Structure 1
Amino acid sequence: MLRSACRRIGRAALTALVAGALAASAGTAALAQQAGRSIVRDAETEALLQDYLRPIFKAAGIRSGSVEVLLIPDPSFNAFVANGRQMFVNTGAIIDSKVPNELIGVLAHETGHLAGGHLARLREQLERAKTLALIGGLAGMAVSVGGAIGGSADTARAGMGLGAGVGEIARRNLLAYARSEEYAADQSALQYLAATGQSAAGMLTTFRRFAEDTMFLSRRVDPYAQSHPMPTERIDQIEAAAKASPSWGARDSAQLIARHDLVRAKLVGFTEQPQLAMRRYPMTDRSLPARYARAVVAYRLGNAADALRQVDGLIKASPNFPYFHELKGQILLETGRPREAVPPLRKAVSLASSSGLLKVLLGHALVETGDPKNVDEAVKNLTVGLQADPNFSIGYRQLARAYAMRGDTALAELATAQGDFVEGEIKDAKMHAQRAQNGLKRGSPGWLRADDILTYQPPPKTR
């Protein structure tokens, strides 16, 4: 189930680094562009990323549930962290990672930023840089004004130059600090990989790819005006340590590679142009990932019957793989056949019982049947699914419909309020929460959840 979530990456969630001081660097520009993009949700991809991150987080001393991992529908190879609680991974980073180890190395690097508290410290450095630039600007202004009053054009120009010079020094100091944090994250990544018995070979492969991509710019780029170290420098810094690790020769398991290849194929099928996807996975390729990608492409092209035929072939080949059943259920649900979607989605949930997203999808299908006999099962799956994945706003919309079908108007209002809250529509959330409270017993769990929304105060806006 690859679908856009009704949620956007707020600019405030990114570091102040993106906001201004480092806007000249290519890496920062990319992050700034990411800031306005939607995220996408997919149970299979997210489960794989969590499995990659779980041992890395343990080695870093980070509780897995404390970090939200979000997918961005972007073809570029990139991942980054924000506010110490979120990690963003581009779909392109997964697609372009030929083996799990290449992606795991990048995730380990980003974990180094989280564990090191780099974003918080970077904000402190940014405030210092702002102060230095302000002081320099005021000093330059004073000299410039003094020169103008005294009739000295040279002194006035010198004052303007002083202000600009101090600002440039502040900016370069901040960039130097950012580069040092990148080096620190590299070293942390090497430690995490060694601690988990994984090779850093994939990390080196990725950095070499970055080096090749930027090689044509290297002669024109000022290395002191970048927020990241030059790629060749990074390779030199980590290669010796990586090869000295006892885990250098470790390889990904065949099972992990198989899962990785299936996720890559699914993402290609859903995110790339159909003709490009078919070039990657031509009809002559009879592997399971290729068949998976082609089934998705058939569905995207509007040929649901052919897509379902291909998915049935996938299920026959691997009957206990939950996400083939999920895809069948999704196709049936989204083509107006919710009753037929329920059995494969029930099967998917039974095979991947920890997935909140799958339970929400099953609950959605049960609601769409319009059958009152399915309402209780829908409420159960949606409630449990949202407990596991409380930021999935679509689930609250379906839960509101289920409660309305059952005649629980107050709980329907509460679910609507929760959906509005997740989407950042605070005013609407408070309105529906008030309506919910009016129909709920004071002090009950639902009443308290509504009260949490009513008493919520948004944090002050950051510049």
Structure 2
Amino acid sequence: MTAFAPQSASPTRGFRAVIRILLPLVAMIAITAQPAMAQSILRDAETEALFQDMMDPLLVAAGLQPGQVRVHLLGDRSINAFVAGSQDIYVFSGLIEAADSAEEVQGVLAHELGHVMGGHAIRASEGMKAATGISLLSLLLGAAAIAAGGGDAGMGILMAGQQAALGKYLAFSRVQESTADAAGAQYLSKAGISGRGSLAFFKKLQNLEFRYGVKQDDDQAYGRTHPMSGDRIQSLREVYVIDPAWDKPADPAIEARFQRIKAKLSGYIADPARTLRKYPESDTSIPARYARAYAWHKSAYPEKALGEVQELLKSDPHDPYFLELEGQVLLESGRPAEAIPPLREAVAKSRSQPLIAATLGHALIATEDQANFVEAEKVLKTAVALDNENPFAWYQLGIVYANKGDQARAALASAERYSLEGGQSGLALRNAETAMQGLPEGTPDWIRAQDIALVARAEVERERKRR
């Protein structure tokens, strides 16, 4: 495990709505539902905490409760973000890499919140329904013309109908985007966050369009999912520059945390050589040391990685995320016993943050010392109680149960794990059924196993029909 832990998203736990791309597309677009398992979710305690702190003022401005909308990070270097389901925002790692400031990301989050509040992911079916109606009508008319002997006329009707259907959906999409732009500007204003970042990020998107030869004239507007970037920038500028928050300085604490996260993510994703060029050893800032620690660790130089971590800890000896990184480097370098003290402190300082607690549980188990398994069970139970969507924590808890001879609960933990991992419904079903056979009927654990079995069985049947 690393601080950024890749996790396949489960098609049974959301993610089944239409994906909405942030960047405009100019070619013909197939509007399809993309399964969660097509992307890898990156889990990191520090990043998720920052995202929530960036999101909560916007949620309050929109009339929601803090924490009501969650932000997830996807391991994809595209500059994209989208809304899925009804209250989940997904941000691509490439967007974080491209953003220069926390305000830029908050501008994107405000826009995506506009989609959430407008119910756009759910209402996407309305646009598709209207487009489908046009498409079906053209098929009927075209078929009738062909049957009457007018082959060319029939094909013309078919092609025109498909083009009209696509245009209908794209127009629907552009309206949603304009609505989300306006709503996002309102949320930023009410939250007292300047729109400078929002405009700066839209300008980045426009520059990318210029680079790739995407025309900005009105003739191209028909084939776009989004309004033209120049028009969006102009409309938003008129709103932002007169807003009282326009000249308000950015939150320095949020900005400092963002720069840490950006460097940390770069160190995790990028090639180590590239990271070391971008953050040379002459740069002794906290973000640079963070990035290099990951680069050295990925390059199998644990002592160099630990050297950077020790310098980070000198700046703040009790920072839970620095302690977490120290524990992870030690653990992944084959020194689990040494990893336990910093990870214990990281868990304590982060108030039992479940992702960090799962790593501590892993370290305790990795010592193969039976005396540590009791603590591991306690730590891992707390982790899954606070975050039951972490398959790695369930996997570790299954090891603990198997070690103590509790095969029924080991099977239940495995069922939980496989239900969270895309494409593992068969394994989830078998383990859930095994758990039910060994657990007292009617107990909470038995009921949970039954629930997993029902969902997994339905998914297995759907997969069988698809085949």
Q: Which amino acid aligns with 1:206?
A: F
> Counterpart in 2 of 1:299?
297
In the TM superposition, what are the counterparts of 1:20-419 in structure 2 within 5 Å? 25=27, 36-146=38-148, 148=149, 155-215=150-210, 216-218=213-215, 222-353=220-351, 355-419=353-417
Q: Does the residue aligned with 1:71 lie in a helix, a strand or coil?
A: strand
- The 1-side partners of 2:29 and 2:63 are apart by 28
- The 2-side partners of 1:369 and 1:403 are apart by 16
Aligned length: 454
Distance 1:226 1:251, change over 3 A: same
Judge conservation of contact 2:15–2:35 (CA < 8 Å) in 1: no
Does residue 439 (structure 1) correspond to residue 452 (structure 2)? The answer is no
Higher relative contact order (CA 8 A, sep 6+): 2
Judge conservation of contact 1:25–1:227 (CA < 8 Å) in 2: no
- The 2-side partners of 1:37 and 1:405 are apart by 33
Distance 1:276 1:9, change over 3 A: farther
Q: Which amino acid aligns with 1:106?
A: V
Q: Does the residue aligned with 1:441 lie in a helix, a strand or coil?
A: coil
Identity %: 36
Gaps of 5+ in 1: 149-154
Q: Which amino acid aligns with 2:178?
A: Y
Q: Does the residue aligned with 1:250 lie in a helix, a strand or coil?
A: coil
Q: Which amino acid aligns with 1:326?
A: E
Q: Which amino acid aligns with 1:87?
A: I
Judge conservation of contact 1:321–1:351 (CA < 8 Å) in 2: yes
371-380 or 358-367, larger mean C-alpha shift: 371-380
Provide TM-score, normalisation by structure 1. 0.91
Q: Which amino acid aligns with 1:428?
A: L
Give the deviation of 1:172 after TM superposition.
0.4
Give the deviation of 1:279 after TM superposition.
2.3
Give the deviation of 1:25 after TM superposition.
4.1
- The 2-side partners of 1:9 and 1:157 are apart by 43
Judge conservation of contact 1:76–1:92 (CA < 8 Å) in 2: yes
Gaps of 5+ in 2: none
Q: Does the residue aligned with 2:82 lie in a helix, a strand or coil?
A: strand
Judge conservation of contact 1:325–1:344 (CA < 8 Å) in 2: yes
Judge conservation of contact 1:269–1:296 (CA < 8 Å) in 2: yes
- The 2-side partners of 1:412 and 1:250 are apart by 54
Does residue 430 (structure 1) correspond to residue 429 (structure 2)? The answer is yes
Coordinate RMSD, CA, aligned: 2.7
Give the deviation of 1:264 after TM superposition.
0.8
Judge conservation of contact 2:15–2:36 (CA < 8 Å) in 1: no
Give the deviation of 1:375 after TM superposition.
1.6
Judge conservation of contact 1:18–1:29 (CA < 8 Å) in 2: no
Give the deviation of 1:370 after TM superposition.
1.5
- The 2-side partners of 1:384 and 1:25 are apart by 49
Per-residue Cα deviation, 1:387-410 (whole angstroms, up to 9, x for no partner): 222211111110000111222221
Q: Which amino acid aligns with 2:96?
A: I
Distance 1:458 1:189, change over 3 A: farther
Per-residue Cα deviation, 1:358-396 (whole angstroms, up to 9, x for no partner): 111111111111222222221122122122222111111
Q: Which amino acid aligns with 2:427?
A: D
- The 2-side partners of 1:34 and 1:451 are apart by 24
Judge conservation of contact 1:15–1:123 (CA < 8 Å) in 2: no
- The 2-side partners of 1:14 and 1:203 are apart by 28
Give the deviation of 1:219 after TM superposition.
5.7
> Counterpart in 2 of 1:449?
448
Judge conservation of contact 2:18–2:31 (CA < 8 Å) in 1: no
- The 2-side partners of 1:302 and 1:72 are apart by 25
Judge conservation of contact 1:27–1:228 (CA < 8 Å) in 2: no
155-164 or 259-268, larger mean C-alpha shift: 155-164
> Counterpart in 2 of 1:152?
none
- The 1-side partners of 2:32 and 2:327 are apart by 36
- The 1-side partners of 2:418 and 2:411 are apart by 10
Judge conservation of contact 1:23–1:29 (CA < 8 Å) in 2: no
- The 1-side partners of 2:37 and 2:392 are apart by 21
Judge conservation of contact 2:18–2:34 (CA < 8 Å) in 1: no
Provide TM-score, normalisation by structure 2. 0.90
Q: Which amino acid aligns with 1:429?
A: A
Per-residue Cα deviation, 1:136-179 (whole angstroms, up to 9, x for no partner): 11111101221x2xxxxxx3211211121122111101101100
Q: Does the residue aligned with 1:315 lie in a helix, a strand or coil?
A: helix
Q: Which amino acid aligns with 1:4?
A: P
